[in-house]
Amino acid sequence: MLIEKIEDIKVWQKAKELSVLIYKILKDINDYSFKNQIQRASVSIMNNIAEGFERKSKKELSHFLYIAKGSAGEVRSMLALAKELLYINEREFESLNEMTFNNN
């Protein structure tokens, strides 16, 4: 399959799904700085994939994928904290945390 636009990229689709779920699950959390940080980190994953793809260079794509991977680590770190702070339950943690790993 030829990838012509970012919406065709499976990992971008999954990153978008992760961002949407984080926004939905944490919508009622009043810790605004925490919520803002994890939301920004999750959006950073999909945006860096998109930016790297749009640069039309393998070197640039690789660079931005490394940045996206770092943002995924930040999201995993914050999910662990969210679980400890009882912002999310164990099921939500497991589901969201699994989405931050590139296992496909």
Classify the phi-psi angles of 86: left when phi > 0, otherwise alpha if psi is within -120 to 50, otherwise beta: left
The residue ranges of every structural domain in the chain are: 10-99
What is the structure's pLDDT at 41?
A: 98
Q: Which residue has the higher pLDDT, 94 or 3?
A: 94
Q: Report the distance separating Cα 52 and Cα 83, nearest Å.
A: 32
Quick check: 104 pLDDT over 50? no
91, 66, 35, 100: CA torsion to nearest 10: -10
Q: Report the distance separating Cα 10 and Cα 94, nearest Å.
A: 21
Q: Domain spanning 10-99: which superfamily?
A: 23S rRNA-intervening sequence (1.20.1440.60)
- Look up tokens 């926004």; give the residue: 23
First and final CA of the chain: distance in angstroms?
A: 16
